[in-house]
Amino acid sequence: MSKALPVAAGPVLKYDQAPGRKAAMLTLADGRQIALDSAGGGTIGRQGNNTVINLKGALAYNAAGPAASSRELAYNTLTTNTGNQYRLILPDGSRVWLNAESSVKFPVNFGNRERNVEITGEAYFEIAPEARRPFMVHYNDMTVQVLGTSFDVNAYTDESAVATTLVEGAVKVVNGGDQSLIAPGQQVQVNGRSMKVVSGINTDEVVAWKDEEFYFRRADIRSIMRQLARWYNIKVDYEGENITERFYARIPRNAPMSEALNALSLTGKVHFKTGERTVTVVK
């Protein structure tokens, strides 16, 4: 292992950032908002035919009766800010993990024919199988069609493409007039109207965030810093030569920012200057 650059552990890291936390904002159908965090708990109230319970880092919709008809659908939205993440248990038992700077809009009662949700940012899904009610995830013109499976959708606007990665089961990704059916370990990348399927994806790396970890395998520094910026709520700048090297690292997401930066600087390929909520990457 390369010796750590002296700048990595010295005064340059005078400014540090605590890791993100479990927190989110719930917006009800009538526009009311409820701030959620892992410290709070208990029953929030009722939405549709569900009792809504705030658990430790998760929000659960527990169905107490039959599903409502589609004409009665009302929508809630769960939103995370920079440095936050949260889980959601939908009325059908499906589970959603929201990464930082993300949202999921969902009906408080699913209709009889389909289960539809809309996302921004990044979300990981574990879908309760129901053959008669396929599950649909929508982002702009793209739709992921599911019966019962586990998958990740990364739709951050600062990434080069919207990436749908399948962990288990099967999904069909529809974008305009194009569609692709993928198997576990494959990823559909959508950029505008173009779509391509990439095989051999390491799904552990893709979904590490939901398991409280940063996991980088041959990752470029800009994609790494985009993840750190969302979690530590920092602005990132670059100076010096373009950094073309690839990085391998596994870092707990509950670590302070300084530990993440030091882990990367140990490679000898990069070092950092820190300010108040800013990090400059230096060749």
Give the pLDDT confidence score for residue 13 in this predicted structure: 60
| Interaxial angle between packed helices 221-232 and 257-265, expressed in degrees from 0 to 180 and rounded to the nearest 10 | 170
pTM equals 0.90
pLDDT in tens, 54-90: 998 999 999 876 655 545 689 999 999 999 999 999 9
pLDDT in tens, 200-237: 999 999 999 999 999 999 999 999 999 999 999 999 99
Distance CA 150, CA 127 (A): 6
**Class in CATH terms, 211-282:** alpha beta
- In this predicted structure, the answer to whether residue 104 has a pLDDT above a threshold of 50 is yes
Domain ranges of the chain: 21-201, 211-282
- In this predicted structure, the answer to whether residue 6 has a pLDDT above a threshold of 60 is no
What CATH number belongs to 21-201? 2.60.120.1440
